[in-house]
Chains A and B, each alone.
Chain A
Amino acid sequence: MVKYFGLVGAGTMGAGIAQTAALSNCEVTVYDVNATVLRQALERIRADLKKGVEKGKLTQEQANEAFGRIHPRTRLADLGHCDVIIEAVIEDLRIKKDLFKHLEADTKPSTILATNTSSLSVTAIASAVRHQERVVGMHFFNPAHIMKLVEVVQGQQTSSETLLQTVELAKQMGKTPIVVKDSPGFVVNRVARPFYGEALRLLGENVATVEQIDRIVRVAGGFPMGPFELMDLIGIDVNFAVTQSMYEQYFGEPRYRPHPIQKRMVDSGAIGKKVGRGFYTYEEKK
C-alpha cells in the first residue's frame, strides 16, 4: 500500500493523477517548477472534486479530505520521502532523462520512479539513472481521474518487483492496469493506428465521404465516435504527430505511415475542434 505519492508536472494529466491518488488515501506531493501552474492545478482539482460531490459520487467530507492530502511544492527535493513518484512533464526525452537523474539523487533507493509517457521509450528514459530496475511506465489516459485504464510499461531493466508494486498501486488508485512491454505506442496508441489510418486512406481513395465513414463506423460498428470526429477532438496535429512518431520508431513500417491528408490539414491550420475547424466546422469556436 503506497502512502506517500509524488507527482511531477501539474498540467492536465498531472492534476488528474494527483486527484486520483489523493482519493485513494495517498498523501500527494505535487511538484511543478511554476507556482502559477501549481495553483491552477489545485483549482482544477477543487472544481472536479466539487463536481464529484454534486453528482453524488463523493461526500463533501471525502472531497475535503482528498484535497487536504494534496501538498503543492516548487522544490524537487521535497519529494524525497515519497514511495512512488510519477512524472507527467512535457514529452521530451532530454527533459525527462534530466528529471529522472535529479529524482534518483533526491529519493530513497526503494522509491519507484514512474513515467506517464505516452510516446517515449521507458527504457530510454530509465537509461538516465543508475538503478534502472526501479523505473517503470505508468501511462494514464485523459481525463486521468475518470479513465479506468493504466498501461503499466515494463522497460528493459524494470524489475518484477517494481512491476508488481506498480500494478498494485494502479489497483489501489481504482484503475484497471494492464502490463505492457516497452514498445512504440504501447498497446492503445499502437492498436488504434488503423482506426485513423484506414479511415484516411478510404477518404483519400474516395470510397466514402468523411460523414459517411463516421456514420458507418458509429452506427454499424458501434464505436462511440467516428474516426474523423475523434481526430477533430484529439487534434489533427496531435494525431499526426503520434502517427509520425510511431512510423519513425518502427523505422518506416508501412502500417504506421501517415497520410498526406493529415499533413495538409495541419498545414492549413484546420487542426480540429480546438480551433473551430478540422474535418468538420464548429461554428461556436469561430
Chain B
Amino acid sequence: MGKKQKAAGRKQPAADKPQRTRVFVVGESPLVEEYAELCAAKGYQVFMKWNKAPNKLPTFSSKAIQRTNSLPAKTSIAIELTNGDREQKQNNLQMIDRTLPPTAPIVSSSVTISATEQTTWLKQKHRLVGVGALPSFTQHPLYEIAPTVYTPKETVEVVQRFFQSLGKEIEVVQDRVGMVLPRIVCQLVNEATFAVQEEVASPQDIDIAMKLGTNYPYGPIEWGNRIGFQHIYHVLRALQADLQEDRYRISPLLTALAQTGEWWKKT
C-alpha cells in the first residue's frame, strides 16, 4: 500500500493504469473505428489497422488512437473485427498470434466464423475468445462473448474484466455462428426485406408497424441501415452454411442491398 502511494506521487495512480494499456484493433470499417473510439474513451492507448481503409477517413475524437501497419510491442489485448473476408481474418489472426505475447488474449468477432474454427488457425489456441461484433452493436450496454473448448477460465475472466473496463456487461454464450442477438436481428431484417420485396408494405410502413405494433427499438429496415446490409448478408450466409437450413435463405432484395449499399433509398 505504502509503495503504491509512493509511486502515485511520482507517476499516475494505479487506478489510471488502463490509460497506458495498449490495445490493437484490426478489421473492417466501421467496426474498427467504433471499437477504437470505445477503448480510447476508456483510457486505452489504441493502435488500429483497417483491412481496407474507408474512402472517407474518419476524424477521431481522441488522440489516443493511432493508425499502425503492425502490431506494436507491449500490446496487452488484440481485437480482430473481420466478418466478411475469411482469408483476411485468418491472416490478421495469424499475424496477431505470431506477434502478441502468449499470455495476451485475442478477442475476435465470431458472428460469421465460430471462435472454435478460428482457433484452428492459431498456435496459441487458448487465448481466443469470440465476441458478437456488428456495426452499431458497440453502443449496446451488454456484449456476448464465446469462449472455445481451449479457453481457460482465467482468459475468460481477463476478457470479462476488459469489457467491464469499457463499461459493458457480459453474457457468456456457447460458441456458435451468429451468437444470440446478431442471429435474431439479422433474421428480422431478412424477413422484413422479403416483405418489402413482395410489396406487402413499404419499407417505411414496415418500420412503423414493428415499432408501434411490437415496440421494437428500431424498425427492421432502419436496423438494417444502422448495421449495414452487407454485414447482415455475411451473418445470414454464415448461418445458412453452418446450419444447412433453408430458413436462412437470404431475400434477393437483401442481397441486392448488400451489393449496392443504400439501393432501396434511391428508388
Contact = CB atoms under 8 A, between A and B. Distances in A.
Given A181-B198, A202-B183, A194 B191 contact: yes
B185 interface: yes
A53 B98 CA distance: 70
A194 B212 contact: no
Interface in A254-276: 254-255, 257
B200 interface: yes
The 8 A-B residue pairs with the shortest CB-CB distance, nearest first, are A194-B187, A222-B217, A178-B205, A149-B212, A188-B213, A220-B142, A254-B247, A219-B142
B169 interface: yes
B220 A191 contact: yes
Contacts, number: 137
B171 A216 contact: yes
A255 B217 contact: no
Given A149-B212, A257-B247, A223 B217 contact: yes
B192 interface: yes
Given A180-B205, A190-B195, A207-B173, A221 B144 contact: no
Contacts of A255: 187, 191, 194, 247, 249
Given A187-B213, A197-B187, A221-B217, 13 more contacts: A141-B213, A151-B209, A178-B205, A178-B208, A180-B200, A181-B201, A193-B191, A197-B247, A207-B180, A215-B142, A220-B141, A254-B246, A255-B187
A206 interface: yes
Nearest to B193: A191
Nearest to B239: A198
A215 B171 contact: yes
Contacts of A217: 180-181, 184
Contacts of A213: 180
B150 interface: no
A202 B180 contact: yes
A187 B201 contact: yes
Contacts of A151: 209, 213
Interface string B112-155: 00000000000000000000000001001111100000000000
B210 interface: yes
A69 to B, nearest CB: 26
Contact of B210 (A176, A181, A191, A224): A191
B206 interface: yes
Contacts of B142: 215-216, 219-220
A197 B186 CA distance: 13
A178 B247 CA distance: 27
